[in-house]
Amino acid sequence: MTHGTLRVSALTKIFNKGSTTVTALENVDIDIAEGEFVSIVGSSGCGKSTLLNILAGLERQSSGQVLVNGRPIAGPGPDRAMVFQSDASFPWLTVKDNLEYGLKVQGRSQAERERVVGELLPLLGLDQFAHAYPRELSGGMRKRIDIGRAYAVEPEILLMDEPFGALDVVTREHMQDELLRTWSARRSTVVFITHDIDEAIMLSDRIVMLSPRPGRVREVVDVPFARPRTPELRETADFYKLRTDLRRMMGEATR
Ligand SMILES: Nc1ncnc2c1ncn2[C@@H]1O[C@H](COP(=O)(O)OP(=O)(O)OP(=O)(O)O)[C@@H](O)[C@H]1O
C-alpha cells in the first residue's frame, strides 16, 4: 500500500473560452514518491497553477491520467491539502480555532482536536499566540496558520501554490526554514509551486522545470544537498553553482 504517491501521465489541459483555445499543459509526465518534496518552476503562465489545481481535484484534465495512491483523482479529498499565496485563515477565529476548524469539519473529537493542535502550535512557533486573531499577527505568522491548517488534517500530500510569494525576502527565507522543520517532523509528500529558483533549491528533493505555454516538462533536476538543510547552505559555492545552472536552463527554456 502506497501513501502520498502521485503519478501524472500524458497530462494535457486545454481551456476553451468562446472561440479561443488555450493549451495550458501538454503531455506532462511526473512521478512523485511518498514523502518526496518536489518543486515545480517555470515562467508565468506555463501552467503551474493549472497542474496543482488538477492534482487538488479542483480542475479536470482534458486527457491523460492523474493517480493519487494508485487511484484516479475524482475530486478534492482528505488525502490532499492546499496552501495558497493569499491568506486563507478565518479572521473571526483565533489561531487555535483556525487550526481546529478542519478537524471539526471532519467530525474529530475534542480530545483528538486538542492533541493535534497541541502538537502543531509549538511546531509552528505559535504557542504564545493560540488565542490571538490573525489581524494581530505578522504576514509570516499568518502564513504559518495556513500551513498549520493544512497540516492539521494530516494529509498525505500537501499542495502549495507560491505560499510565500507575498512575503518580503527575509520573512520568506525564515518561512522556508520553518517549512523544512515542519515537513521533517511530518514527512508528507509536498508539491510546491514557485517562481523562485533559490526557494526551489533550498526546499526540494527534485525540481521539475516546465517550458513556457504550453507547459511541458523541460528538465527534472535532483537537488543533491543533504538534509537537514540550514540557512548557511544558501551561502555555499555548490548552492550558487546549482542556482546558476538552473537559471541558465530557465533562460533557455523561455527562448
Ligand atoms: N480557467 C481558465 N480559463 C481559461 N484559461 C485559463 C484558465 N486558467 C488558466 N488559464 C490559462 O492557462 C495558462 C496557464 O495558467 P496558470 O495560471 O496555470 O499558469 P502559471 O504558470 O500558474 O502562471 P503564474 O506563474 O503567472 O501564476 C494561462 O495562459 C492562463 O491564461
- In this model, does residue 2 exceed pLDDT 80? no
Q: What is the pLDDT of residues 80-125, one digit of tens each?
A: 999 988 888 999 999 999 999 999 998 999 999 999 999 889 888 8
Query: For residue 228, how many other CB atoms are within 10 A of its CB?
Result: 9
Q: Residue 123 has what pLDDT?
A: 84
- pLDDT (tens digit, 9 = 90+) per residue, 118-163? 988 988 889 999 999 999 999 889 999 999 999 898 899 999 999 9
pLDDT for residue 97 = 96
Among the listed residues 250, 125, 139, the one whose alpha carbon sits nearest the alpha carbon of residue 198 = 250
pLDDT-based confidence at 1, cuts 50/70/90? very low
**Residue 253: its pLDDT value, please?**
62
Domains of the chain: 1-79+195-255 (3.40.50.300)
Model pLDDT, residue 254: 62
The predicted pLDDT at position 7 comes to 97
Flag whether the ipTM exceeds 0.90.
yes
Ligand 1 atom having least distance to the Cα of 13: 12
Please give all residues whose beta carbon lies within 6 A of any atom in ligand 1, as ranges: 15, 17, 22, 24, 42, 44-50, 213
32 within 8 A of 38, measured Cβ to Cβ: yes
Centre of ligand 1 from the C-alpha of residue 47, in Å: 5
Q: What is the mean pLDDT of the chain?
A: 92
- Which one of 44, 46, 50 would you pick to mutate in the ligand 1 pocket, going by the greatest count of ligand atoms within 8 A of its CB? 50
The string of pLDDT tens digits covering residues 176-215 is 988 898 888 888 999 999 989 999 999 999 999 999 989 9
**Atom of ligand 1 minimally distant from the CA of 52:** 18
Task: Judge whether 130 and 121 are in contact, CB under 8 Å.
Answer: yes
- Give me ligand 1 centre to Cα 99, in Å: 30
Average pLDDT rounded to a whole number, residues 13-35: 95
Give the C-alpha distances (Å, rounded to integers) separating 236 from 30, 176, 242.
30, 17, 10
Looking from the CA of residue 162, the nearest atom of ligand 1 is: 27
**Res. 168 pLDDT band, cuts 50 70 90:** confident
Left if phi > 0, otherwise alpha if psi is -120 to 50, otherwise beta: which for 65? beta
